[in-house]
Structure 1
């Protein structure tokens, strides 16, 4: 009985999220457009996440290169290090790791903020006053997350390659110029374009789930914590699903 109730609630929530997504697409193209709030959200999500993403990317490049170098040295393939690291980070590791970091930073923040507004009846007050809270609170945050995450991923990838180049410069005495020449020789548009496209979907998923959990928060202040936690957990699972679909589609169209 409990299992059937869990399955039923799962599919009900899937339906609610689908309706929430449909409502977003109906509202996003209808005036008025909240450009000022959109810019504010872009600043909050983008500029305030740059330090976290930069540190994460730098450490990612350092660790990945340090862990891979001994194995390549066993086969005498140290010269392949720039190509291997750059393709791995740009295609897969960078977007996924940075998206997960942003899911914790941005998704939980959205869930907690909207959840606190719901339990303190600020959203209800906006509806009574004639303001469209969905347009002002939800649409702007989802669009901002969709736009900002690809930029954060590009920043994180670039800093990760700098960290990798630093290790190669110290351990292998490879100059930065030679390292990045090999990086740009090995990278192709078929590596960069699919990774960039899927990063937009990562940002959309982070904004959507965070807004959904926060907008429909209940149970008072306890629900705020639950909404914030659920936003991170659900988003992390969804990111892996989107990544699997993206890799599958990329393999069909690009053959990689």
Structure 2
């Protein structure tokens, strides 16, 4: 089992080594990059906005209820600060990345896997095209470019969701919430959030690509590879989250 796992890691790094090279034809590469930005990033816009608004509202309400139940008086303005802190430190970079791992990861694994079982990748190799570079590099760059934008938008929409929750429930005023949002938060927290985002973006693009590229069989195996890709992408995100938290925040 361990030997099989190590062999898979070796194959993964070998595939990434072939992928991260100068494109053979820049005009084709830019065309594919723009398409991947649309497929992986722009098409995830609505899901990220919807999820972030509602979770931001839930986080704000939970913070307010916890503060109300506290034995010590806590100002209502801390609802805004606590909501911002939760969104920046954990929800937006990690939870949204896990959501994208399911949406984007399955798409990447199934699209590359379909090309593998239909022998399109073999055709590219026969024509002398570096197929890992041709197929995977645009996905890596698109994810690295657009995922930080999605996370920044998620933080903003989550804060908006907390504001809307206050307007609907009347538990805290606009001024209290705005005061909490403007409270000082260490810059390290923002660096931590976006460093995590870039690492997660690389994982989301490369792990499903590995599973899709190494599919053997037919359409049934493509479906299984997509499921495995999503599961392992989430596992690596969670493990990396622990390592980065220890390295950056400790």
Does residue 111 of structure 2 align to residue 94 of structure 1?
no
| Residue among 127, 130, 134 paired with 1:129 | 127
1:120-159 alignment to 2 at 5 Å? 120-159=118-157
CA distance in 2, matches of 1:80, 1:178: 8
Q: Is contact 1:213-1:227 (8 Å) kept?
A: yes
| Residue among 53, 57, 75 paired with 2:52 | 57
Structure 2's unaligned 5+ residue stretches are none
1:121-200 alignment to 2 at 5 Å? 121-170=119-168, 171-175=170-174, 178-200=176-198
Does residue 233 of structure 2 align to residue 235 of structure 1?
yes
Query: Which portions of structure 1, spanning 4 or more consecutive aligned residues, are displaced by more than 6 angstroms?
Result: none
Structure 2 equivalent of residue 39 of structure 1: 34
- Cα offsets for 1:5-37 (capped at 9, x unmatched): x22211211221122233333x1x454331111
CA distance in 2, matches of 1:180, 1:122: 55
Give the direction of change, closer, same or farther, for the CA distance of 1:44–1:8 in structure 2 (3 Å limit).
Answer: same
TM-aligned CA deviation for residue 182 of structure 1? 2.5
TM-aligned CA deviation for residue 237 of structure 1? 0.4
1:208-223 alignment to 2 at 5 Å? 208-223=206-221
Q: Name the TM-score, length of structure 2 as normaliser.
A: 0.92
Q: Is contact 1:142-1:211 (8 Å) kept?
A: no
TM-aligned CA deviation for residue 198 of structure 1? 1.4
Give the total of aligned pairs.
244
TM-aligned CA deviation for residue 136 of structure 1? 1.6
| Residue among 12, 23, 33 paired with 1:17 | 12
- Cα offsets for 1:166-217 (capped at 9, x unmatched): 1123332411x65234213233322211111110110000000011111111
TM-aligned CA deviation for residue 107 of structure 1? 0.6
Q: Is contact 1:86-1:187 (8 Å) kept?
A: no
Structure 2 equivalent of residue 82 of structure 1: 80
Stretch moving more, 235-244 or 71-80: 71-80
Q: Is contact 1:37-1:140 (8 Å) kept?
A: yes
Q: Is contact 2:208-2:226 (8 Å) kept?
A: yes
CA distance in 2, matches of 1:65, 1:100: 21
Give the direction of change, closer, same or farther, for the CA distance of 1:172–1:186 in structure 2 (3 Å limit).
Answer: farther
Stretch moving more, 200-209 or 30-39: 30-39
Structure 1's unaligned 5+ residue stretches are 1-5
